[in-house]
Amino acid sequence: MQKELIHPPLREQRKNAALLVIVAALGYFVDIYDLLLFSIVRVESLTDTGVRAADIRHTGEYVINVQMAGLLIGGILWGVIGDKLGRIKVLFGSILLYSVANVVNGFVTGVHSYALIRFIAGIGLAGELGAGITLVSETMSREKRGYGTMLVAVVGLFGAVAANLVHEYFNWRTAYFVGGGLGFILLLLRVGTFESGMFRHVQESRVAKGSLTMLLTHKERLLRYIYCIMIGMPLWFVVGILITQSPEIGKALGTTGTLAAGAGIMYSYIGISVGDLFAGLLAQWTKSRRLAVLVFLLLSLATVVYYLNSRGITQSSFNRLAFVMGVGVGYWATFVTIASEQFGTNLRATVTTTVPNFVRGSLIPITFLFEFFVKKSGIITAAYIVMLVLTALSLFALSRLKETFSKDLDYMEV
């Protein structure tokens, strides 16, 4: 059941919405920089910590899965805090934690300490996007909020570009130090941001806030939540495995030399930014977020099939293709906005924070599934199978969700 809230217009908050969008976008920029840095420095950093060349792929999967486990735990932690104590507290706490973790990461000397610090960083990184999208969604008008979340994603995703450029000019330890420094600068920019008016109103009510029990024990609500997670899974498979493991996939495709995963990640995230822009505009023009996600799910499947058929692919061709694949999965902001719009204010931060992190964390079971098929039929066939399965699940989930464009978000789940 949903209980509607009635209170005066939030003119004061909406007047400052532009500032909030800018700050949220810069926060997501730093978030993406730190989130993807390990994928970019994977080979160099693991080699430097004593990992043999033959073990780098599996060791890299271990470290990134530990980081994703941190994102899963952090998503729940920050989501509940966001609904119980406020979205601003999440922004400050999460930024502080991952900034400290990244500075410490620059001093690691072994695989297990590396994984432990990435776990802590993952917990911190889990709070940024959900809190930012929740604040923007609750502050801007229902007709314009799609533009706000689109801009947050477009600006933020260039953090991947910055991470690769820093890595090109400095060693991997310095790249982690830069990530931590950017986080501390961001903390200063957060001063002066304001709390969501919707949250302040809900805070005065006696309804349960940030309740996992409410979310998980109500069948319809739980299914709605699961469907939100499912529509985002292909995106992280493309980035987290197909592009991150491009050196190994390129070898299977008969590439001369070794494909650079860092460059692939950079170009893919430029593509994701472009895709997010067009997905957001498509949703605004058609007044349907579901249609936009459908178009991009089919586009992403087509680009992956092309990639897996690119025999003898060169680095320059791979860079262009990584960009195109990024465009194909460039529905991240639209997907997170859909999740935010599916639930009432007293559960919105919990959902908006946990859903993208559960999508990122889904890389753990996806990796195990991928490895199962790699052993059975090789890396290329395994990539085909997993991508087809994830796309089918996403299309089914999308068909079960209601359209939320222009939905009034000022209500509570009871």
Dihedral sign for Cα atoms in the order 172, 173, 177, 180: positive
- Winning range, highest mean pLDDT, from 9-13, 186-190, 295-299: 295-299
126 confidence band (pLDDT: 50, 70, 90) = confident
Tell me the pLDDT tens digit for each residue of 259-289. Answer: 988 888 889 988 988 998 899 899 989 999 9
Mean residue pLDDT across the chain: 85
Q: Is the pLDDT of residue 196 over 60?
A: no
Span 59-87, average pLDDT: 86
Span 173-178, average pLDDT: 94
In 3D space, the residue among 64, 380, 102, 96 whose CA is nearest the CA of residue 253 turns out to be 380
C-alpha span between 93 and 106 (Å, rounded): 21
pLDDT on residue 403: 92
Span 81-92, average pLDDT: 78
pLDDT on residue 10: 46
CATH number, domain at 99? 1.20.1250.20
> Please, which residues have CB within 8 angstroms of residue 203's CB and are 6 or more apart in sequence?
86, 209
Span 344-360, average pLDDT: 84
Q: Are 209 and 346 in contact (CB under 8 A)?
A: yes
Q: Are 151 and 136 in contact (CB under 8 A)?
A: no
Tell me which residue range forms the domain holding 12.
Answer: 2-413
Span 383-404, average pLDDT: 96
Task: Read off φ and ψ for residue 147, nearest 5 degrees.
Answer: -65, -40
| Percent of the chain's residues with pLDDT above 70 | 91
Span 199-206, average pLDDT: 60
Question: How many Å is the Cα radius of gyration of the chain?
Answer: 20
The total number of structural domains in the chain stands at: 1
pLDDT on residue 288: 93
Lowest mean pLDDT among 64-78, 136-150, 166-180: 136-150
Task: Read off φ and ψ for residue 143, nearest 5 degrees.
Answer: -80, -25
**What's the token pair of residue 296?**
């991009």
Write out the H or E segment, with its range, that includes residue 253: none
- Enter the pTM of the model: 0.78
> Please, which residues have CB within 8 angstroms of residue 5's CB and are 6 or more apart in sequence?
198, 201, 202, 345, 410, 411, 412
351 confidence band (pLDDT: 50, 70, 90) = confident
Instruction: With both helix axes pointing from N to C terminus, report the angle between 315-328 and 261-286 in degrees, rounded to the nearest 10.
Output: 30
| 413 bridge partner residues | 2
| DSSP line for 160-184 | HHHHHHHHHHS-HHHHHHHHHHHHH
